[in-house]
Amino acid sequence: VLMQSPGTLSLSPGERATLSCRASQIVNNNYLAWYQQKIGQAPRLLIYIASRRATGIPDRFSGSGSGTDFTLTISRLEPEDFAVYYCQQYGSSPLTFGGGTKVEIK
Amino acid sequence: QVQLQESDPGLVKPSQTLSLTCTVSGASINSGGHYWSWFRQLPGKGLEWIGYIYYSGSTYYTPSLEIRLSISIEASKNQFSLKLSSVTAADTAIYYCARNLLGSDVFDIWGQGTMVIVSS
């Protein structure tokens, strides 16, 4: 099970966002990914293997962590970053997702 | 570039079989190393992985749906399909098809999604 916190994060553009994903058991090989999803759109891959940015993802997005505790950090929020963020583990089957963190404009 | 497009079954009656097709453009579905996957998102909820099929035809399903699920490839049409039998209202969701990042079980190419409503 992947638990994401907080459920909602209310921040202003330019602020730093820190999102947490905690696994109930060790994520093998740190196979943990982060996705961004906007209303009416499909998810967009941001980060994989805990800290590797996907192609075309701005460097204000960074991932960290290992074992059971992982973090997605957005260094300075841009207007287009307000969305829902999901973590996904792929270290064991079945693939599973966290419940999501909504980053909303304060 | 690679694009995926789900079919649009719209309304499905309870106890019937949901059939979805994902059409791939910009790449061959037979290109080695890729998994072709299905996900769903229940209304207002998070994401659920349903299963995927390897280009060779090997399939991997989530345990909770496995007994009702079939995923197949039709290489001649560059498509892959999902069939989910005995549907109930609990299967009402947005269904997405997606392709994995080569060598990994993360997904960087997604279809736009299709809303499926199970109702009589």
pLDDT in tens, A61-90: 999 999 999 999 999 999 999 999 999 999
pLDDT at B31 over 80: no
Task: Tell me which of B108 and B57 has the higher pLDDT.
Answer: B108
Instruction: Give the mean model confidence (pLDDT) for residues B85-90.
Output: 97
CA B100 to chain centroid, in Å, comes to 13
Could you tell me which chain A residue has the CA closest to the CA of B115? A40
What is the C-alpha R_g of chain B?
14
pLDDT at A15 over 80: yes
Could you tell me which chain B residue has the CA closest to the CA of A84? B46
Q: Do A93 and B101 make contact, defined as CB atoms within 8 angstroms?
A: no
pLDDT single digits (tens) A23-55: 999 999 999 999 999 999 999 999 999 999 999
**Chain A CB within 8 Å of residue B97 CB:** no
Q: Do A90 and B46 make contact, defined as CB atoms within 8 angstroms?
A: no
**According to the model, what pLDDT value does residue B55 have?**
84
Q: How far apart are CA A44 and CA B25, in angstroms?
A: 19
Q: Work out the pLDDT band at B24, boundaries 50, 70, 90.
A: very high
**Chain A CB within 8 Å of residue B59 CB:** no
Could you tell me which chain B residue has the CA closest to the CA of A98? B46
**Chain A CB within 8 Å of residue B43 CB:** no
Q: How far apart are CA A15 and CA B36, in angstroms?
A: 37
pLDDT at B32 over 90: no
Q: Closest CB to B105: pick one of A54, A55, A90.
A: A90
pLDDT at B33 over 90: no
**According to the model, what pLDDT value does residue B30 have?**
87
**Chain A CB within 8 Å of residue B54 CB:** no
Q: Do B108 and A100 make contact, defined as CB atoms within 8 angstroms?
A: no
**Chain B CB within 8 Å of residue A43 CB:** yes
**According to the model, what pLDDT value does residue A77 have?**
98
DSSP codes of every residue in A17-58: EEEEEEESS--GGG-EEEEEE-TTS--EEEEETTTEEPTT--
**According to the model, what pLDDT value does residue B56 have?**
86
Interface A:B, Cβ pairs < 8 A: 50
Is there a contact between A12 and A95 (Cβ–Cβ < 8 Å)?
no
pLDDT at B103 over 90: no
pLDDT single digits (tens) B42-56: 998 999 999 999 988
**Chain A CB within 8 Å of residue B98 CB:** yes
Q: Do A54 and B101 make contact, defined as CB atoms within 8 angstroms?
A: yes
Q: What is the mean pLDDT of chain B?
A: 95
Mutation target for A interface from B6, B66, B107: give the one with most A CBs within 10 A.
B107
Q: How far apart are CA B20 and CA B71, in angstroms?
A: 10
